[in-house]
Structure 1
Amino acid sequence: MADAVTVDEINPGDHACLTFTDPDERLDLVADFVADGLHRGQRVICFTDALTPDELSEELAMREVASVAAIDRGQLTLYTSQDAPAADGGATAERMVALIARERHQAARRGMPGLRVSADMCWAGRPIAIDQLVAFEQQAASLFTDGRLTAICQYDRETFDSVTLAFASDAHHKTVAALAYHDTPLLRICRQHRPPGVRAAGEMDYTHLQPLQQALTEALRLDDNIHLNLVKLRFIDVTAATAIVKAAATLPAGRRMVVSCPPAVAQVLNAVGAEHVPQLVMPSQS
């Protein structure tokens, strides 16, 4: 079974699997993976199908990744699986593996320390392509032996069945997930990597105070400015809102907590004093 790690524990030579249900959380992890590769001076390729290359570039930029500059200098390339040069005639396991092998070789010739690949695997979710998925993961394994290739393959749980997802997990050395402080059908609270902070989705009340405070405490310790992403929070009670406002108030004057949330959540935060805490900033929400 693959080892479960957070995205910042991915090392050169790792072949990791990310299964997801929340597209925004996936993009957060992908952005951190891409940013780390750019920082290391690696060649970075993203295969994207759920989003167009332009849309993915915008999503990366929103998460503080200098994607346009990296594309302009030839360090970052965004492909759809169908438009990649080696996939002429349609994405197949053999063509995709050949492209990655060629890019790894070219990165070495350019003096780069390795190749980093982010692969949206939804191209293999089409009924005629499932057999190609097995072949791709098996053939790609040989490319990781010298430590010059690092990759995260992403599988949407709404696209792939449970048998395929189990195979994907077994075919990789590591599985990637956000650090979750609380994960139930009602509420998920997890670490957000880019921009750094905390993400919460669902419904939050006084019974969730412990994991909320744990997440905020860790963010306060790790991050200069804390980004609290509550965009998908449908409900918050006074107790949870008060905990957020109090955490922001502990920040020194040079730091801030940026809270993104829907108007209904902002109303509760303001009712418990958010407007009077200068360290807490809420961008206007439509």
Structure 2
Amino acid sequence: MPKISRITTQKKHKDRYNIFLDNGSGEKYGFSVDESILVEYRLRKGMELEDSTVNVLIQKDTLHKHYTLAINFLSYRMRTKKEIRDYLVEKEVDEAHISKIMEKLAAERLIDDHEFARSFVRTRINTSSKGPNMVKQELLQKGVEEAFIIEALEMYSFDIQFEKALKLAEKKLNANSKKSFRQQIQQMQGTLMQKGYSGDLVKEVTSELANQKDDDAEWASLVKQGEKLLQKHQQKYSGFQLSQKIKEALYRKGFTIDLINTFLDEYLEEG
């Protein structure tokens, strides 16, 4: 039966130890263990170890190293059960070890999908412009149960959604100020839907923005685009044809018929 002939501390990892064995034919490196296993099994020089004990120690140390992998992965931020399991699978950890690690992490409350969902929603509310539908999809992709997600999203109230969506919409309108108000609204609505806001909320935001419509800015935008169209078509068309060409183009850009007619009355007469 081999005996422990020497125990040394690893140079790069001071909490790990190399165990050397001698079975009567000279000393050889046997295996390495974490300090916790060294203490638990009271490993010491001269101690005899059966082969079965050596195998147990190696398995236990392997499990400890894999558990440490999971702890390090958790050290950067909270993780869901699915994220931890996927990470361990990627690291080629045995399924038996994964199950034990997951049980231990849950027992130590280091993984908790319920709390993860609440924390995730709070973070998204405070740091992003994403709506609840997008947040829900993110959580589903991370493997969180839908019941946990629904409960967590209760803190994302309609008032909070409206405030964030309106701020995003106003920013979008300012960026597209050269376009007609209708075009700006359509693009804004698409943006809000893509961001995960509901149709009802988008309607509320649209209604609010309609009250803020700047008629002077709309007229200035139409004049700018109308003048470009005049320069483009007036050498080829005149009279009714020119009027129709400009009217169709401006209507496609989202301007109202009344505003277009006003422009045509003023600018074609001047022409």
- TM-score, structure 2 normalization: 0.25
Task: Give the structure with the higher percent strand.
Answer: 1
Q: Which structure has the bigger radius of gyration? A: 2
Q: With CA pairs under 8 Å and 6+ residues apart, which has the higher RCO, 1 or 2?
A: 1
- TM-score, structure 1 normalization: 0.24
Task: Give the structure with the higher percent helix.
Answer: 2
